[in-house]
Structure 1
Amino acid sequence: MGGLRAGGYGAFAKSDLDEDEVLLRVPRSCCVTLDDALSDVECGAGFRKLMEEAGPGADTVVIAGYLAKEYLLLKEYDRRLEAGDDDDDDDDAVVVGTRPRPRGNVKFAPYLRTLPWERGVNAQEHVLFWEDGDVEALLGGSLAYADAVETRATVKIATGILDGIIGPVVRRARGEGGNEGGEEGGGGGFRFPWQRSREEEERAAAGGGETILDGLEEAVRGAFVICLTRAFVAPSPVDGGREEDRLEPVLDMFQHSNVPNIRHRFVDDGSIVVTAGPNVRSGDELFNRYQGEEDGDSMPYHKFFTRFGFVPGVTEPVANLIADRSTIFFPQRAVV
């Protein structure tokens, strides 16, 4: 069982709860969805082009890019306020593309501030936050190694692609100039790595390519951790019921248990309704179950770790489990 013993946020019952009692309802409009990214006035065109080129598999990359962009803009707004800028001065609004955007006007700002953008925040531990050497030293030869390497490689490629989409917007907000590539109608201002010319490849290999936006690697890495550990799969009410990944504020504060005491279900308007399970008493911590039905009842613990950053039911540090050659991470040979 997880819970606050494992760190982070949690939710508790303030009174005894009846089974099936409705605890909360989260409208889809309060959730971070692919629609938010694709309709974004600053980078929507670039995200849509990415979807056209890469297909549905790019959903997570697009949502992560949108989160990273909003987070970096929020940090810029905070920096200016700390420097003494007047947030109510329209003449001092942050400019993105060619449009002024009032500082602090980030749709999900309060939610973004609760998320684990860095290692250790909310007790978050994830292989995306590790150094390369740690992955090799701790996971080399383990069942989790291939998943960890593949996930990290995906994020590295995505960072380069997203720099061309959200980089110009953030650079302009910082007063660093740059082109309007991320602007609506600008076509995204990016090309995939495999679309570079030979001259561009040679220049990049020689260190003459453009520098990745300062802070982007950390923001994209954090955004991927957030998407992997907190996204729910839900039917979309605006796309013929097609399943979509989305972030659900409040619901994602519930800690994990293999034996949860709350339930959640999606309703026709796209909202999510959370109800109490049996025998919930005042003071009890409320638990959800992170792995969905598509994973069945037997998601291997090593895969659970590379996805969510912890092993359910185990409080022992992962380094200790690996040092002890735990069967969670290392296959055992039968003695015959």
Structure 2
Amino acid sequence: GGPMSRGSCRGRSASLVASAAADPRRQVDVDPRHAPLLSWLEKCGMELGPVSLGKSRVGAGYGAFATRDVVEGELLFSVPSAACVGLYDACGDEDVGEQLTRLVVKGQGGATVALAGILAKEWLCEGAAGPRGPYLAMLPWDAAWPPEAEQEQEHCLWWSESQVDALEGSPAYADAVGIRDEVALAAKVIKSLIGASVRRAYKERGGM
């Protein structure tokens, strides 16, 4: 086959990030889940330059931080296509590929739901041992990390009903309700498509 397609990031103004990362007041907390993720990416052919992953102490969430000053054009990281998920993975799945293909053909967000469906199936059926398990294992499923139990996911999908209701009367309220309703419908569709595969996997593992 031809050369592997990659998504890459090259330094232009990244020296500003490097300077911030070197500042002791802006050190990052290393998430132990990154080790298996990086190991898996390396096996897929990833190239990693002077970059570390971690949780910022000066903002919410995680990020990639330069470990030293970098020069313009220097490769920071590249992610090979082998580590990515696409519609071919979803539509080519032995169990639910045909159903996901029909969903994609319908349009109106079907492709997004199909990708979410194949990732959900991989995680629920195979967990960290799945084809993209090391990546899925570090997503913010709960508040187990960091140790202080800070909620990792701040999106309105994770809010309680009372938190959403507090927005009533503002433009953000309609957006939050719309997003939650849309995802609830997508989750219902995905459950109907992958439910049998998940139940079978659970039964094989003795989970049912």
TM-score range, shorter chain: 0.5 to 0.7
Q: Are 2:168 and 1:125 equivalent residues in the alignment?
A: no
- Secondary structure of 1:145's counterpart equals helix
Q: Are 2:167 and 1:167 equivalent residues in the alignment?
A: no
Alignment of 1:108-119 (within 5 A): 108-118=132-142
Partner residue of 1:72 out of 124, 144, 155? 124
5+ residue gaps, structure 1:
79-103, 177-213, 215-336
Whole-Å separation in 1 of the counterparts to 2:77 and 2:104: 33
Partner residue in 1 for 2:176: 148
Per-residue CA deviation, residues 151-181 of structure 1 (Å, 9 max, x unaligned), is 10011111221111100000011118xxxxx
Say if 1:61 and 1:158, in contact at 8 Å, map to a contact too: yes
Higher relative contact order (CA 8 A, sep 6+): 1
Say if 2:90 and 2:97, in contact at 8 Å, map to a contact too: yes
Say if 2:87 and 2:114, in contact at 8 Å, map to a contact too: yes
Whole-Å separation in 2 of the counterparts to 1:21 and 1:32: 26
- Secondary structure of 2:62's counterpart equals coil
| Ranges of 4+ aligned residues in structure 1 off by more than 6 Å | none
Partner residue in 1 for 2:109: 57
5+ residue gaps, structure 2:
1-16, 18-54, 147-151
Q: By how many angstroms is 1:36 displaced?
A: 1.7
Say if 1:119 and 1:126, in contact at 8 Å, map to a contact too: no
Partner residue in 2 for 1:10: 63
- Secondary structure of 1:174's counterpart equals helix
Give me the identity figure in percent: 43
Q: By how many angstroms is 1:19 displaced?
A: 1.4
Per-residue CA deviation, residues 176-201 of structure 1 (Å, 9 max, x unaligned), is 8xxxxxxxxxxxxxxxxxxxxxxxxx
- Secondary structure of 1:161's counterpart equals helix
Give the aligned residue type for 2:159: W
Q: Which has the larger radius of gyration?
A: 1
Give the aligned residue type for 1:30: A
For normalisation by structure 2, the TM-score amounts to: 0.62
Q: By how many angstroms is 1:127 displaced?
A: 0.5
Equivalent residue pairs, number: 147
Say if 1:51 and 1:58, in contact at 8 Å, map to a contact too: yes
Partner residue of 1:22 out of 59, 64, 75? 75
Per-residue CA deviation, residues 282-335 of structure 1 (Å, 9 max, x unaligned), is xxxxxxxxxxxxxxxxxxxxxxxxxxxxxxxxxxxxxxxxxxxxxxxxxxxxxx
Say if 1:47 and 1:62, in contact at 8 Å, map to a contact too: yes
Give the superposed CA RMSD. 2.6
Give the aligned residue type for 2:186: A
For normalisation by structure 1, the TM-score amounts to: 0.40
Q: Give the direction of change, closer, same or farther, for the CA distance of 1:10–1:151 in structure 2 (3 Å limit).
A: same
Alignment of 1:1-336 (within 5 A): 3-52=56-105, 54-75=106-127, 104=129, 106-118=130-142, 123-137=152-166, 139-175=167-203
Say if 1:4 and 1:10, in contact at 8 Å, map to a contact too: no
Q: By how many angstroms is 1:10 displaced?
A: 2.7
Whole-Å separation in 2 of the counterparts to 1:125 and 1:9: 12
Say if 2:103 and 2:111, in contact at 8 Å, map to a contact too: no
Q: By how many angstroms is 1:120 displaced?
A: 8.0
- Secondary structure of 1:26's counterpart equals strand
Q: Give the direction of change, closer, same or farther, for the CA distance of 1:127–1:168 in structure 2 (3 Å limit).
A: same
Partner residue in 2 for 1:239: none
Whole-Å separation in 2 of the counterparts to 1:120 and 1:142: 33
Structure with a larger share of its residues in helix: 2
Partner residue in 2 for 1:91: none
Give the aligned residue type for 1:110: P
Q: By how many angstroms is 1:56 displaced?
A: 5.0
